[in-house]
Structure 1
Amino acid sequence: MPTPPSATARDEPVIRDRGDACPGALRLHAADDGYLARVRIPGGLLTGRQASVLALAADRFGDGHLELTSRGNVQLRGLAEGCGAGLADLLHGAGLLPAPGHERVRNIVATPMSGILSPERPHVTPWVGELDRLLCASTRAADLSGRFLFALDDGRGDVAALDPDVTLLGAPRGRALVRLGAAPDAVEVDATDAPRAALLAAEYFLDSADAAGTRAWRVSELPAEHALDAGEFAVRLGAAGIAAAVAPEVTWPYAPPPRPWGPGTGDRTPLCVLPPLGRLTADQWRVLVRVAAGSGGDDGELRITPWRSIVLPRASTRRPVDGYARLVAAGLSVAPDGPWESVTACTGRPGCAKALSDVRADARAVVDAGGAAPDGAAGAAVHPVHLVHPVHPVHWSGCERRCGHPRGTAWVDLVATPDGYRLDGRPVPSHELAQAVADARSQPRVSEDAVKK
């Protein structure tokens, strides 16, 4: 079984002198192309109605586009000054803003295929709603930073590889493992207690952060003398009425993210849809909603993944809607080995003042030149359970911050400089860029932990 890159040891504790500046749906970020709102979507789970409201918000208040983030959230850009109250009212009416005081801490990723194709695995989707409810009801949880991350993994190891602060890993016989940061051990609890255990883990972190006095945002930032300990956490759980035992040696699984896999069979089938660079127009988004629903009597469901794709658990692929054809016509990838697979980019120019290039336009130019798809990609339909990535992702960064770079896997590091691009640390002439990217995808030199912001 493949394993993700190991964490890099930290020599010095991180000392923060301010709170985090992560945008939210209420705290808008002023960008060069207008204001930006980040709408938290716990577990990436959206009803068709909620998704329709997001498209309406993009048209009414923004630039008519929706962006998917590396935590399965949705961003609206190009917002006008003074639109905050109207946007908040619209989101609240759709159930997308249940607790204004907690809206930036609802950072939950979950295995997007849970409960869809692997019935033998624990179904973690119900954990999402319960953990979100507990977070929103906890006064203490409101003190978490907007960067603190919960991962709810059904045991395959996909979202567990995303550098979460608290991981719930589904285990056999109705059990769950709770992992604190990147610890090698874990605490085992009953699966029914898992969401409450995750909240208590976050509160344990807050207590340790307060004791450290460093204003840590994440578990990895705690100094060694205040690091979280599985034994102490088990005692805390016991005091809260949750039976817990330390699992000192855990073999942590790893699985790659889902890929587009073709039309499948039958009238209703799961689909994984990949928008180029994780950005859609409101009209493309509405096509997704329509295909997810299939008919007027079904609201449909969408699952936004941390890899900037969308899983439709019961897409109408033939009747009553020929969803597969509609998605292809809308410019969305729904088959494996497409040219946009595993190509990501930050916002770049003109939206970000720090960016040195329009990285999205540059990425499109390289894709058009054949520098993205693996050699010999056939695009044939493949069953999603057996999918593995044939190439490593390439991330285009407009500056050294590398916003939105891939997590949990080796990746090709492409960074804009005043003189062009640097690929995995070396300058590349513009006329060689497409070939250099294609070559580097099979032999990446950079892992997620090699670059620290």
Structure 2
Amino acid sequence: MPSPRSGPDKCPGALQVHQAADGPLARVRLPGGVVTSPQLQTLAAAAQEIGNGEIELTSRGNVQLRAVTDPDEFARRIADAGLLPSTTHERVRNILASPLSGRIGGFADVRGLVTDLDRGLCDDPALADLPGRTLFTIDDGRGDVSSLRGDFGLHALPDARFALILAGEDTGARVGDDAVGVLLAAARTFAHIRDSAWRLNEMPGGTERILERLGLGYGDPVELPAAVERGPIGWLDQPDGRVTLGGGLAFGTLPARLAEFLAAVERPIIVTPWRSLLVPDLDEWAAEQVVRVLAPMGLIFDEHSPYLQVSACAGQPGCAKSHTDVRADARTAIENDDLPADGRQHWSGCDRKCGRPRGEVTDVVSGPDGYRVENECS
């Protein structure tokens, strides 16, 4: 079990930026990963005009801009776009939901629960002090986001109830129509008892203490699935006859120009926790045009692309601790068909291995004398 943290929580947000080596980094929370076309256009313009020209996708379905030259102007722009509904709660709005929910598969459509949870978070002053690393997950039963081991979560079951997930594990407790209220109460309890802990799994007996405080009974838990290696890619047929397109991005980075074209599709865009995108609710003709135009611009619809097997930390120039520009090195290796290993691999500029995905991954780690290859699981 991880130990409680001794320092302050410096997780970046839209208002509390991180001073990276290449300048201020601002992160925008997108509950459920959803961003509207006008909001995406706002982000694209900001990336082009006061950022480094790119929008980075994060493993929590959020986005961030690097090298922001005017953080106050950035905050003003996203507030005007509706991306900053609460200045006091903006860093705690970390809500992952099954990206295809309500369109393809799953036991329940959880999109409304995301909206209710986000509203409940922002309306509760006691939850403003949650650490910025607190993570909520709402899984429609397919197991894609429960496997990401959030602090507080719901996992849809075939009988229309939800399993209550705490510290990434099924507690055995079952909830129904009051599911969002239970999640908020659990988070409120954690905020009250957490002391210096940033995550629920850092608290000895944290799950048991919350269940006792809430007066919840529990039975036999179910085993949660293993972590999903990547999000859906390619052409995905919806039961209503429409199409969702799943598109990957090299190193989870969305160029501003590509973002502008995506915004022009005039559909909500869903950012997944695998640093990919979904474009839903297209008719077949529109879907064909999106693929034709956006694939040459860098949106990856081929599930066999080597870029979907390779992830990387920020590297230089964004990180002062990195020994090299790992993304440029990894890109060169991909283009020259010279990757050091088969399968999933994560390139890191130092031994911290920031951004490393879960599961079986080969580490390609830079040091003073070049790269070394390590085969480990996490």
Instruction: Identify the TM-score tier after normalising by the shorter chain.
Output: over 0.9
Counterpart position of 1:21:
10
In structure 1, what is the Cα distance between the partners aligned to 2:344 and 2:109?
28
Letter in 2 for 1:68: L
Amino acid across the alignment from 2:71? G
Matched, 1:101 2:81: no
Cα shift at 1:372: 5.6
Counterpart residue number, 1:53? 42
Structure 1: distance between partners of 2:262 and 2:355: 24
Pair 1:277 & 2:246 matched: no
Moved more, 254-263 or 393-402: 254-263
Contact 1:394 1:413 in 2 (8 A): yes
Contact 1:205/1:228 (8 A) holds in 2: no
Unaligned runs of 5+ in 2: none
1:133 maps to 2:119:
yes
2:264 is matched with which residue?
290
* Shift of residue 60, structure 1, vs aligned partner: 2.3
Cα deviation 1:257-276 (Å, max 9, x = unaligned)? 43312486999410101111
Is 1:394 the counterpart of 2:367 in the alignment? no
Whether the aligned pair in 1 keeps the contact of 2:13 and 2:28 (CA below 8 Å) is yes
**CA–CA distance in structure 1, aligned partners of residues 322 and 140 of structure 2:** 37
Q: Secondary structure at the match of 1:206?
A: helix
Query: 2-side partners of 1:396 and 1:317: how far apart?
Result: 37
3-state SS, counterpart of residue 54 of structure 1: helix
- Matched with 2:362 is 412
Q: Distance in 2 between matches of 1:320 and 1:227?
A: 47
TM-score of the aligned structures, taking structure 2 as reference length: 0.93
Q: Answer whether contact 1:155 1:170 (CA < 8 A) is retained.
A: yes
Alignment partner of 1:329: what SS?
A: coil
In the alignment, residue 234 of structure 2 is paired with which amino acid?
W
Query: Which amino acid in the other structure matches residue 417 of structure 1?
Result: G
Structure 2 equivalent of residue 318 of structure 1: 285
Contact 1:263/1:335 (<8 A) preserved: no
Equivalent position to 1:37, from 5, 12, 26: 26
Q: Is the 1:115–1:121 Cα contact (8 Å) retained in structure 2?
A: no
Rg larger in structure? 1
Aligned partners of 1:92 and 1:29: how far apart in 2? Answer: 19
The 2-side partners of 1:264 and 1:136 are apart by: 35
Quickly say closer, same or farther: Cα 1:76–1:402, change in 2 above 3 A: same
CA distances 1:259-308 after superposition (whole Å, capped 9, x unpaired): 312486999410101111111211111222223x2xxxxxx111100110
Return the alpha-carbon distance in structure 2 between the equivalents of residues 54 and 281 of structure 1.
11
Aligned to 1:173: 159
Tell me which residue corresponds to 1:403: 354
Q: Are 2:191 and 1:219 aligned?
A: no
Partners of 2:245 and 2:231 in 1: how far apart?
10
Show the counterpart of 2:66. 77
Measure how far apart 1:84 and its partner are. Answer: 2.3
CA 1:252–1:321 in structure 2 vs 1: closer, same or farther (change >3 Å)?
closer
Matched, 1:144 2:130: yes
Aligned equivalents of 1:122, 1:15: Cα separation in 2: 35
C-alpha root-mean-square deviation of aligned residues, in Å? Answer: 2.3
Match of 1:355 in 2: 322
Measure, in 2, the Cα distance between the counterparts of 1:186 and 1:100.
35
- Distance, in Å, in 2 between the alignment partners of 1:263 and 1:180 is 32
CA distance change for structure 1 residues 98 and 358 in 2, over 3 Å: closer, same or farther? same
CA offset digits 1:227-252 (Å, max 9, x no partner): 221xx5445445xxxxx541333232
Between the two proteins, the alignment pairs up a number of residues equal to 376
CA contact (8 A) 1:104 1:146 kept: yes
Tell me, in whole angstroms, the C-alpha distance in 2 between the residues paired with 1:40 and 1:262: 27
Q: CA deviation at 1:216?
A: 0.6
**Structure 2 CA distance for aligned equivalents of residues 142 and 200 of structure 1:** 14
Task: Give yes or no for contact 2:190–2:210 (8 Å, CA) kept in 1.
Answer: no
The CA deviation at 1:373 is 11
* Equivalence for 1:329: 296
Native 8 Å contact 1:160 1:254 kept in 2 = no
Inter-CA distance 65–154: structure 2 relative to 1 (3 Å threshold): same
Q: Which amino acid is 2:123 matched to?
A: A
Distance 1:160 1:325 in 2: 34
| Identity %, equivalent residues | 40
1:202 aligns with 2:202: no
